[in-house]
Structure 1
Amino acid sequence: MREFIIACLVFVCVTTSHAQSDFLYIDGTSVALPSPLPSTSSRATTPPESMLNAGYSYQAYAQSIKPSSSGSWHKIRLINPGNETLRRYLVFDVHILKHLNVYLFDRTDLRLEKKLGLKDISEEEVQDYTAPHLEFSILPKSQLTLLIYKQNDGPGIFPARILSEQEWLQEKNNKRFFWGAIIAVLIAMALYNVLVYSMHPNKSYGWYLTFHTVCFFYFSALNGFGFHLWPLQIQVMLATNIMFMNFLLIILIANFANHFLFANQNAPRHHKLVLPLSIIAGLGCITSLFVPEYSIIPAFSILQAFASIFGMSIGIASLKSGFKPAKYFVISWACTLAGAGIGMATVLDAIAINIFTLHAFLIGTLGELFLLSIGLASRMKYFEMRSLSQSYLYPNTNLGNLSYFSQRLPQNLPEILKNHQHVYLVLMNLTGFREVVSLYGPKALTESYQQRTIELENLLRNEKWSIHFTLPSGRQVSAMALPSEQILLLVNVNHHDEIELIVDKLYHHSHRDLRIRNIHMPMSSTISYVHISHHHSLQEQYRKAQVALQHAIVTNQKYCAYSPSLDLAIGERITLIQKLHKAITEDELDIFLQPQFSLFDNKLVGAEALVRWRQNDGHFISPGVFIPLAEQTGLIFEISKNIIARSFAWLSDIKKHHPNLYQNFNLSINLSALDMAQSSLLSFLQTSLFNHDLNANKITLEITESAIMENHDLFIKGIQELQTLGFNLAIDDFGTGYSSMLYLKELKAKEIKIDMGFVRGIHTNRVNQKIVQAIVQLANGTDSMTVAEGVECKEEALWLQSIGCDFAQGYYWNPALPIQEFYTQYVSLKL
């Protein structure tokens, strides 16, 4: 506690602590004045001679130390039982008494008197100041009577001692050394924290430095070393305004605790009390300037007791909330309370008086300042670690992110492998979020992803096989969120055959509908897993998991374990990519044309340009193999540009040499979603039209139905720009998705292409008949033409004709033909 006067209040309950005696024997060693002393009170200062034989009693001592406007007299007889004259020093270890008078009588003769209070100290005494003291001599076998007068508007006179000359000199040297050390430490800590504050300004350091400064002034007055630092007038002013600084220290430490402990988050109930406590203490500051100190002490004692409990309580509450730097605050507060307790015990003469017990409160507060300084540095480190930990978290989740995976996990992996039996890396590819974005936008994606990861985290937290990861702040996470809606986690098993059961549990946990905005969205996942070996890096294990995951996705498996054979498949895939890149660069891809016919007169109306890849050995690689590969590797736009350029060149030749056929011929070219996303697509088409002198209305660009959902706004804008140039639009594979009807009117497509899955066997399949009839009616309602794909027999063609389908293509007429064969069969014959 900060108020040394608490010691005085304790004296109210003390009526006796030693054997009561009117005599104090002076021998060769120091002796402390006993407590209690025979005492009496007077309303005003009276001549000491008249007080020599006044009625003194031990019972009056308790009343004499209570704060009041009265003055107190204390009396004791000093006896020298020896045979030598003794030179002694009466020393009071109290430095803030305003009025303290000492009188020494030989029987009735006043031999010596001295005024030791603050109001009476002189500039000369300040030069060699150690403590209020009286130097006297006592003859052998003689007795002196000591009277002490003190005004009851300040602390008591204890501790007080009678020292020999040698002890007094030692006391002076000890105090000067001790004070010098204290001043040096206080200044050093202040300079250090000022330097830190200049580099990292924040409110916690601001409150700390203010608290540190006031403590410096406070103890310079309370312990007397301010006489060697400040002018006498300032030291007297500080010493006579201790109560003001007491209230001020409550304000400072309460607000420091509030900011240092982040109380609004870590101790919200205490946070609400800081402002009222500060206001009450502020009123106390103002009151202390105008009201006598003895009138304020009772109220202050209650406030100080509350503040002491509050300080310890807010520190413990913050520590329980997980704020680790709070431990320094709790320990520092305990140091202050311990120092105050030791100081009180010294005043009560319960423990021996020495340089340390006399300054216990100062030492405790010094320890508090030192620990708080460490705490501030720890707090900065804590927030640095928390900030670093936050940088390792995926936004809006409690999962680690790619940075944690690449930077921290490799460092922690050896320890994880050491502490667990068999560790597996499990990679989950979550699906279903794209549909959420399409229906509700990106905000819903955040909400749904957060919901799904919380469900996963709750599962992992309660499973013994789940391995948790520690962030720099000490916080633990159970999995990592990686790009493309992938989740990575580590699993520990005792036996290898347990892993499939765990993966199956993870799959079924993720294969559940997600309820968002009162709608159930189907969600699922594909999972891969690989046993982690000590001999391979984490990146290598991750690569293997990606290989297994890709295989599971391609083969439509729920989950897949890595095996070396999968690397062989990947090797073949890489080889194929290299060959495809070479085929594009060296113009080895071929253009095939599949003719399109009118179902009403069976005349040729156009053709669809298709790409084929013939190997050197004459074998073809299926478009179903290399087109997805091109899309995955970013080569698809290069292929599309190749098709456009060569198709435009062929159509330009038709226009030049066969104008009649050109007038009634339409060329269809497929564009993928990735093509539509290319910013250079429009300019490339414009340039190609110009170079080949073609009309855009002779070109139909086919867009797959799934492309509409990739990026609706970008897609619609691109289509509108293409239609502005004059290109026709066809929706390919209509009916295989779920979104086209939402945008059909907006797109204003010229053609709707009916997927071959609905066409094949349509003359006998009633379900497909109803679907195709609906598509034709829908097209008629939007002024679109219909093109049936995959017609293989006459019956299918006739049935399509009967329901009003406009055009068709398929093996019934011809498969896709090389350009030269198409020219020979359909163009040259018309010459």
Structure 2
Amino acid sequence: MVNGEIVGVFGIARDISEQKHFERQLSFNANHDRLTGLLNRVSLEDRLALDCHITRRHKRRLAVMCIDLDGFKSINDSIGHYYGDQVLIEVAQRMIQQVRPSDTVVRMGGDEFIVLLPDLLCDEDVVLVAERLMASIAKPYCVQGMDLHVSASVGITLSDGHIEQPMQLIQQADMAMYKAKQQGRNNFQWYTSDLNQRVCEHASLRNDLQKAIETQTLQLHYQPQIDARTGRVVGLEALLRWEHPEKGFISPAAFVPVAEDSGQIIPLSLWVLDTACAQLRQLSDQGVTSISMAVNISPMHFQRGHFVHYVQATLEKHGLRSEQLELEITESLLLNNADQAIETLHRLKALGVRIALDDFGTGFSSLSYLKRLPIDKIKIDRSFVQEIATDHNDAAITQGIISMAHHLSLKVVAEGVETASQMEFLKGSRCDVFQGYYFAKPMPFVELEAFLGFPTSMPDRQS
């Protein structure tokens, strides 16, 4: 200022663009998943409320999907979280590609995602989106030369937007997703009002199963395997049974998926293997030394890094020869990192343990993988045996399986043999071993001891 007049202005300027960028980055990180770049659960409530408003205003429909990946946990457990992270990143990209720009994909955490589909004209549109998402997710993931596989269980709920607590839609979709898991996975299910009761029953079953594992109140039953030529018992299959104190018999088909979802399958599998070997030791001490014990192996247990060591330690603990133990596997072991699974099988074979491929003929790649697997026998699935005497297709398939297996120097076990006509057909087709109700039902160990006390000729048919 000169003579009372302003002749200039002095100011200090500071570049705050870096600060603004940092603030934007903080805001982005607060609302987005750092791994996949998708919105996270923090953003979900606001976005859901907005979509409900849009749906109400346009008088249309809002669909909420809950998507959980099947088989993802086994990737993390068997080959590491890096591979799992790469799969999640690719899953996120594939999901974005299958929805509209106005739709929202959220990663809730782990391998669970939410998809919001606002402003829908008809319910059928949801089905198309669900099918596209499932097909896209199910395609192989190549990570550092490994082909990895996951699928998706999808739960869906619909709304007209008139709901006081929009987050209830997330709970409904989550319930429907668990129903999809229970229905065999890799499918989608709709929310219905009765699902609340089913979810409570599922939680109750999980808690009761945990108590049964801790108190060792589960049982193993054993079904004999019969040599087709001599009629002698040459093997036993250990089958898990649960007699609930209030609900009675609970099928493995009901509680094993619960155990797999909750992680209880690992301690359960450890108990089964240890108990089966302990009771085989008891039979050996009674002079029954020529019978093998077949134990079904959970893919989740098999893919654990110390599985081979545990098998070896269990055999040593009970003083069993390796060839007395037979591990039954299914092709689901090969879905993620088939090369590592085959390497593990070779290590088991090096111990002297026998390997059987269960449910043969029902898997996705029976023929392509058969020659690579270090197995000793295959088990023909009971679905082929049931109509074998009357259905020409089942008969032809079964004869083809037996012939192919013998050319590969593999033995063949037929499951589900229930009639004399089935047995005679299989015997004429040169099947090696029979297993089924025609010879014996699965029985507790005490009954098995009595059963094996009979003469070693072919047992009488059980009623």
* TM-score bucket (shorter structure): 0.7 to 0.9
Runs of 5+ consecutive residues of structure 2 not aligned to the other structure: 76-82, 141-148, 458-463
5 Å matches for 1:571-720?
571-616=200-245, 619-658=248-287, 661-662=288-289, 664-720=290-346
Distance 1:443 1:695, change over 3 A: same
Tell me how far 1:592 sits from its aligned partner: 0.6
- More divergent stretch after superposition (504-513 vs 740-749): 504-513
Counterpart position of 1:389: 28
2:447 to 802, 821, 827: 821
Residue 802 (1) aligns with residue 437 (2): no
Relative to its length, the structure with more helix (as a share) is 1
Runs of 5+ consecutive residues of structure 1 not aligned to the other structure: 1-170, 194-372, 469-477
Q: What is the CA deviation profile of residues 381-437 of structure 1, one whole-angstrom value per residue up to 9, with x for unaligned ones? A: 14642574377556898xx63xx3321233455565556527745115488999xx9
Counterpart position of 1:503: 126
Contact 2:417 2:434 in 1 (8 A): yes
Contact 2:64 2:156 in 1 (8 A): yes
Residue 405 (1) aligns with residue 33 (2): no
The TM-score, its normalising length taken from structure 1, stands at 0.47
Contact 1:606 1:666 in 2 (8 A): yes
Tell me how far 1:596 sits from its aligned partner: 0.4
5 Å matches for 1:174-573?
178-179=7-8, 181-182=9-10, 185=11, 188-189=12-13, 193=14, 373=15, 377-378=16-17, 380-382=19-21, 384-385=23-24, 388-389=27-28, 392=31, 401=38, 404-411=39-46, 414=49, 417=52, 421=56, 424=62, 426-427=64-65, 429=67, 449=91, 452-457=94-99, 460-461=100-101, 466=102, 478-481=104-107, 484=111, 486-492=113-119, 500-507=123-130, 510=133, 526-531=154-159, 535-536=164-165, 538=167, 540-555=168-183, 560-573=189-202
Q: Indicate the SS of the match to 1:717.
A: helix
The higher relative CO (CA closer than 8 Å, separation ≥ 6) is in: 2
Tell me how far 1:703 sits from its aligned partner: 0.6
Distance 1:810 1:416, change over 3 A: closer
Contact 1:670 1:701 in 2 (8 A): yes
Distance 1:742 1:391, change over 3 A: farther
Distance 1:543 1:680, change over 3 A: farther
Structure 2 counterpart of 1:409, one-letter code: L
Tell me how far 1:696 sits from its aligned partner: 0.9
Q: 1: CA distance between counterparts of 2:429 and 2:64?
A: 53
Residue 749 (1) aligns with residue 370 (2): no
Structure 2 counterpart of 1:489, one-letter code: L
Q: 2: CA distance between counterparts of 1:781 and 1:808?
A: 20
Q: 1: CA distance between counterparts of 2:293 and 2:414?
A: 16
Q: 2: CA distance between counterparts of 1:452 and 1:617?
A: 46
Q: 2: CA distance between counterparts of 1:672 and 1:827?
A: 32
Q: 2: CA distance between counterparts of 1:738 and 1:416?
A: 40
Distance 1:417 1:380, change over 3 A: same
Counterpart position of 2:395: 769
Contact 1:547 1:567 in 2 (8 A): yes
Q: 2: CA distance between counterparts of 1:640 and 1:442?
A: 24
Contact 2:138 2:152 in 1 (8 A): no
Tell me how far 1:456 sits from its aligned partner: 2.8
Q: What is the CA deviation profile of residues 22-66 of structure 1, one whole-angstrom value per residue up to 9, with x for unaligned ones? A: xxxxxxxxxxxxxxxxxxxxxxxxxxxxxxxxxxxxxxxxxxxxx
Q: 2: CA distance between counterparts of 1:652 and 1:746?
A: 32
The percentage of aligned residue pairs carrying the same residue is: 26
Contact 1:591 1:609 in 2 (8 A): yes
The TM-score, its normalising length taken from structure 2, stands at 0.80
Q: Indicate the SS of the match to 2:98.
A: helix
Distance 1:770 1:411, change over 3 A: same
Tell me how far 1:583 sits from its aligned partner: 1.0
Distance 1:615 1:395, change over 3 A: closer
Which of the two has higher C-alpha Rg? 1
Tell me how far 1:705 sits from its aligned partner: 1.9
Distance 1:573 1:454, change over 3 A: closer
Contact 1:594 1:815 in 2 (8 A): yes
Q: 2: CA distance between counterparts of 1:677 and 1:384?
A: 44
Structure 1 counterpart of 2:222, one-letter code: L
Tell me how far 1:616 sits from its aligned partner: 2.6
Superposition misfits of 4+ residues, deviation over 6 angstroms: 394-397, 430-434, 441-448, 511-517
Q: 2: CA distance between counterparts of 1:710 and 1:410?
A: 35
Q: 2: CA distance between counterparts of 1:447 and 1:576?
A: 34
Q: What is the CA deviation profile of residues 531-579 of structure 1, one whole-angstrom value per residue up to 9, with x for unaligned ones? A: 46764363x4322211022224544897554344211111111111111
Structure 1 counterpart of 2:277, one-letter code: F
Q: Indicate the SS of the match to 2:170.
A: helix
Q: 2: CA distance between counterparts of 1:490 and 1:691?
A: 56
Distance 1:625 1:586, change over 3 A: same
Q: Indicate the SS of the match to 2:371.
A: helix
Contact 1:510 1:525 in 2 (8 A): no
Structure 2 counterpart of 1:178, one-letter code: V
Q: 2: CA distance between counterparts of 1:618 and 1:513?
A: 40
Q: 1: CA distance between counterparts of 2:298 and 2:187?
A: 28
Q: What is the CA deviation profile of residues 491-517 of structure 1, one whole-angstrom value per residue up to 9, with x for unaligned ones? A: 247xxxx66244245346557789999
Q: 1: CA distance between counterparts of 2:323 and 2:139?
A: 44
Q: What is the CA deviation profile of residues 315-353 of structure 1, one whole-angstrom value per residue up to 9, with x for unaligned ones? A: xxxxxxxxxxxxxxxxxxxxxxxxxxxxxxxxxxxxxxx
Contact 2:415 2:435 in 1 (8 A): yes
Contact 1:448 1:516 in 2 (8 A): no
Instruction: Please report the RMSD computed on the Cα atoms of aligned residues, expressed in angstroms.
Output: 3.8
